[in-house]
Amino acid sequence: MAQAGADPSIPASETTSFSNAFLTVSHPVNFEPSTPAPKGEMAFSLQLTGYRQDSSVRIDLFPAKGLTVEKVFEQNSPLFKGRSNGEATVSGSRRCT
C-alpha cells in the first residue's frame, strides 16, 4: 500500500511478491505486475510497471532446451550491449569483480 503524500513515481521501499510455477520475484508495492501473452517459444512473460508507465521491467522466460546456464549466457550475450561486466544489486549499489 502506498504511503499518503509519497511521490508515486518513485519505487516504494515496501515490497510484495509475484509468484507462479515459473518464478517468484519481489517488487515495490507501487509497481503493478501483468502477464503479457507469451510469443513464439517463450514460456512466460512478466511485466512490472510503475505509476508513470513510461518505463517498466519485463522478464521473458524461454526454455533452455537442456543447455547449461553458461551456454545460454554465451548464446544470448551478443544480444545485450553492456557497459561492463561485474556484480550489481537492484538497489544500485555496485560491486565490480
The three grid cell numbers given for residue 25, joined into one nine-digit string: 520475484
Residue 92 or residue 55, greater confidence: 55
Task: Please give the pLDDT value at position 58.
Answer: 92
The pTM of this model reads 0.66
pLDDT digit string, tens, across residues 15-42? 999 999 999 999 999 999 999 999 999 9
- Asked if the model's pLDDT at residue 95 lies above 80, the reply is no
- Nearest-angstrom CA–CA distance, 94 and 88: 4
What pLDDT digit, counting tens, does each position of 50-64 carry?
988 887 899 999 888
CA 35 to chain centre: 12
List the chain domain ranges. 15-82
**Which residues have C-beta within 8 Å of that of residue 64, sequence separation ≥ 6?**
72
* 69-79 pLDDT, tens digit each: 899 889 888 88
- Round to whole Å and give the CA distance between 35 and 37: 6
